[in-house]
A and B are shown apart, each in its own frame.
Chain A
């Protein structure tokens, strides 16, 4: 018994020490129980293509769809409004046809958005936690807006035939406007998040807790509004170009003259809206670039002069292609307009301006050259062509290309009309004078820019832009007055368009899509190895900014994926209903607002008289 008691005492004594040690350790670890869970900065790498490529591709394709679903409602509302005030049912049908496609495209956008979010949460949890700490309220609002947007879209589409007369029709148009309001709000909110990553407020440092970042200063950061405007315009352009490409595809597949006429006309309208809005895009882009430079010189130099500068040469090439394709389409279109032949001799001179402008715009400041060529030039700057590499030359070239494209539209607009007002010649002369003065102003500031300090030269581009914008508005204004009660030389022969013209529409949409990806990479890539510029560093193996060739491959893959998906959307859209086609018959008069439409009255704003529909 004694021996047993002794063993027990011994056991208690020796058990006490580890027990106390365990208790001590538990107490030491007690603060851990009070700690909040910290998500890891990164999830495990995405298989095969890596996390960065995965998020890049999904974000880019989502963005392309988002541009489509935001751009097409703009297109739809504009064409519906033209249909209402022009009393032309074709525009209304066109608008409805595209809104139908929106229903399918909307789902694809939402699916891609969801995928993007899941990838962000699982691959970059640290970044997402940081952003959501600052922007959580706007994220809730963002999600909430989708309910309103979806409801409005459904009412807009399904109420089309119900609300088609009188005030109800105006109410329906109001729904379309509201759809755009929701879409724009969604766009602006998402833009705040991405622009914060690019240009966080100056008082946000790496050690600033996200909870301490002021919401509004983070939201309305330096590049937020320039991106908003730039994307808003670009979306409208994108919507128009997609419509035009869809029409081009259907035109090539057409079996009857009616189909050809309908899709020829649809392609023209889509192209018109895309190019007309596109003409304002360089100005918005210029503002964005200037804000970036102003926000951070290093970022600006990386973008315009550093390794991203080659993207601008690629961009110049692609925009040159856009200008050529758009003008080509218009010049071919002159062949189906009675009276269009009188403008044909001028197109070669306009083409010369475009080609020379294209060459100037795409001339690199620092040229790709081997060592012998570099030695012969005395560096990578060509001693003679080097002047074309500066912004003075490039701004001049692009403004002249814009003016030339505008002139093509003007020719197209006037092709089948005979003015009847007594002062028609004077008006036309005034239009020519305005165009000539504008050209002189653009060239003058282009040359003078070489003789003044850089900051003054930057200011000159504003004068060039204002001169071009003023000219566009003034000449169109005059044209509307000159062409009041104009006589018609005959209806446009819709459908009588060579098939090669439709490939110009495909070139346009592919180029726009590619440009979105490439320049989106430039905007995002100038952050380099930062998730949030100079605040949160990318510490993954993918932190290095990708080389341009590699980036071009990824972006091209995104473009192919998007075009395949959008082709699927069109196919599905085609199954929902068959569009009503237009017959190849008598022209319908489209009155200019505020004028009395005569039997051959001139159309407003370049959108021409249409053939009657086959009911």
Chain B
């Protein structure tokens, strides 16, 4: 056993197995033990990670002549040694069957929707029209913030959020509102560094004002259930909600670079 563990072929196989276990079970189940939320790794990412590890292993076994020669030994033995006839025959049956199964499995009709490429952030238009008023998003600041009416606006945003947004985006702004599980994809969490923390307030204003119907044609289908709130809220109210979101999530909006 110890001898096998020193052999590059079996070392490579072991690394591959450990990597698979880590990605398949480690990532979804270990972080929750430490109180960090996690989820299974999607198949596309799993494939990507395993391919990377496999390439890494192949680089390692072949970047040295001695190691490369030893790595090939078991494969060569299986293919040419007379005493391995049975194993060789089994491999010649099992390997094509495995390939056939993988091909069949990837091509057979399935009832689930195919995996989709979703954009990280849809690209915003240069300008939008809200209740007949044209607004240029580039360089646009939250007028409530610049007018020094933040405190009052946050209170207004608080009320509006709980009246309109909380059922989906959640009490904790984590995208886990009580309606959330009726949607797929789920409403976005507004906390953390991945969503509004990376965006300017004008971008967030646009997303709230125009919702799912206002998403760009590129990257469709978005399957977003977000309403276009400019039909319900005034621009000032939308700015107030925007202000509240950053305040409540403890985040700062992305600011415009100074020229």
Contacts and interface: CB of A to CB of B under 8 A. Distances in A.
A352 B42 CA distance: 23
Contact of B194 (A296, A301, A389, A500): A389
Nearest to A295: B138
A324 B218 contact: no
Interface in A495-550: 498, 500, 528, 534, 545, 548
Contacts of B176: 378
B87 interface: no
B52 A359 contact: yes
Contacts of A534: 126
B142 interface: no
Given A309-B119, A454-B254, A373 B56 contact: no
Interface in A234-264: none
Contact of B120 (A365, A384, A385, A454): A365
B165 interface: no
A481 interface: no
A498 B36 CA distance: 47
A566 to B, nearest CB: 26
B175 A378 contact: yes
Contacts of B63: 328, 331-332, 347, 351
Nearest to B139: A297
Contacts of B197: 453-454
A304 B121 CA distance: 8
B43 interface: yes
B39 A378 contact: yes
B55 A379 contact: no
Contacts of B48: 317, 359, 362-363
Given A347-B63, A453-B197, A455-B257, A370 B114 contact: yes
Contacts of B251: 453
Given A331-B64, A355-B53, A387-B193, A297 B119 contact: no
A359 B56 CA distance: 11
A289 B257 CA distance: 14
Contacts of A301: 121-124, 203
Given A307-B119, A335-B64, A368 B42 contact: yes
A373 B255 contact: no
A503 to B, nearest CB: 10
A482 B29 CA distance: 50
Contacts of A268: none
Given A324-B56, A372-B112, A384-B31, A298 B126 contact: yes
The B contact surface, by secondary structure, is loop
Contacts of A367: 42, 44-45
Contacts of B255: 453, 455
A305 interface: yes
A137 to B, nearest CB: 28
B39 A382 contact: yes
B117 A368 contact: yes
Interface string B225-259: 00000000000000000000000000111110101
The A contact surface, by secondary structure, is helix
Contacts of A378: 39, 175-176, 186, 189
A31 interface: no
Interface string A364-378: 111111111111111
B37 interface: yes
A296 to B, nearest CB: 7
Contacts of A366: 118-120
A390 B193 contact: yes
Interface residues of B, number: 68
B78 interface: no
Contacts of A453: 197, 251-255
B27 interface: yes
A380 B255 CA distance: 26
Given A332-B63, A367-B45, A379 B119 contact: no
A390 B28 CA distance: 20
Nearest to A454: B254
B225 to A, nearest CB: 13
A335 B67 CA distance: 12
Contacts of B116: 368-370
Given A309-B119, A348-B60, A500-B62, A384 B113 contact: no
B218 A379 contact: no
Interface string B117-152: 111111111100000000001100000000000000
Interface in B166-195: 175-176, 184-186, 188-189, 192-195
Contacts of B55: 324, 355
Contacts of A317: 48
A386 B123 CA distance: 20
Contacts of B138: 296-298
B257 A294 contact: yes
Nearest to B38: A384
22 contacts: A297-B203, A305-B122, A306-B119, A306-B120, A306-B218, A307-B219, A317-B48, A328-B63, A331-B63, A351-B60, A352-B56, A355-B53, A370-B113, A372-B112, A378-B189, A379-B186, A382-B39, A383-B39, A384-B39, A453-B254, A500-B62, A528-B218
Please name the 5 residue pairs, one residue from A and one from B, whose CB atoms are nearest each other, closest first. Answer: A305-B121, A306-B123, A384-B38, A355-B56, A302-B123
